[in-house]
Amino acid sequence: MTGIYPGSFDPITLGHMDIIKRSSKTVDRLIVGVLNNQGKTPMFTAEERVAMIREAVKDMPNVEVRSFEGLLVDFARSMGASIIVRGLRAITDFEYELQMSQTNRIMNKDVDTIFFTTSLEYSYLSSSVVKEVAMFDGDLTQFVPPFVIEKVRAKLKK
């Protein structure tokens, strides 16, 4: 069974890594799908985000990383994936996630969403929090993989 773990990953956090590690044990092949959204101005380009995640998952043989544009269900279909993986941190995630998973299933009834409850230590964590802390020069060691810290710092120096 192939699963897709989609997101913006701008940048990848330890919370994302937790979901990747756990979900990759439940599917045969996990594709991390990085949304290349032309409408948004991310901190990192899609190529940079893909490269960072590839580095982070290099020891996980059944995990691939790709960027996608357009609808997630179309990407899932093109990858032969029947499962979408999402993490739920708190009740505040629920409404948005429910809406997305319902919409996705209406558009493609062959794709179902599986939710993983985020490990407690990451239940507050988001890429936005990482960027905010970084902007004020805060310590990022508990939020993102070590090599991502350098990349974030380098971006902010530009």
Q: Does 53 bind ligand PNS (CB under 6 A)?
A: no
Q: Does 3 bind ligand PNS (CB under 6 A)?
A: no
Q: How far is the CB of 58 from ligand PNS (least distance, A)?
A: 21
Catalytic residue among 49, 86, 89, 151: 89
Size of the site for ligand PNS (CB under 6 A): 9
In angstroms, rounded to a whole number, what is the distance separating the alpha carbons of residues 63 and 78? 17
In angstroms, rounded to a whole number, what is the distance separating the alpha carbons of residues 144 and 119? 15
Q: How far is the CB of 39 from ligand PNS (least distance, A)?
A: 10
Rg for the chain (alpha carbons), in Å? 15
Q: Does 6 bind ligand PNS (CB under 6 A)?
A: yes
Closest CB to ligand PNS among residues 41, 137: 41
Catalytic residue among 8, 23, 24, 127: 127
Catalytic residue among 40, 109, 157, 158: 40
- Both tokens of 93, joined, read 């995630």
Q: Which residues participate in catalysis according to the annotation?
A: 16, 40, 89, 127
Question: Which parts of this chain interact with ligand PNS (CB under 6 A)?
Answer: 6-8, 35, 71-72, 100, 103-104
